[in-house]
Amino acid sequence: MRFNIFTIPNFLSAIIRVFRNLILRRPVLVPEDIAEYRKRICVKQCTWYDPDTGQCMVCTCFVDLKVALATERCPKGRWSFYYKGKKVHNTT
């Protein structure tokens, strides 16, 4: 497991975003196809993905969890937040 100086602030802000979506009744999880799409980008196309730990080396998030959350986005801009009825992600 990897840590950097952003790990704890990133983790706390991720939790806050999840609670914000719960309060605003926005989706917390993305549909399965979006999660798979995001994960494919991380695992197959990104050099920041660490296959040994399953973490993104930029934000140190666990990719399996990160790609499933509507409140998360790629810190390198490869995929973005997800809003119900409005899929906001790159198509490359």
Category of 77 on φ-ψ map: left (φ > 0), alpha (ψ -120 to 50) or beta: left
Q: Which stretch binds ligand SF4 (CB under 6 A): 13-21, 22-30, 46-54, 82-90?
A: 46-54
Tell me if 81 contacts ligand SF4 by CB under 6 A.
Answer: no
Q: What is the CA radius of gyration of the chain?
A: 13
Instruction: Say how far apart CA 58 and CA 63 lie, in whole Å.
Output: 11
Least gap, CB of 20 to ligand SF4 (angstroms): 20
Tell me if 75 contacts ligand SF4 by CB under 6 A.
Answer: yes
Contacts (CB under 6 A) with ligand SF4, residues 3-22: none
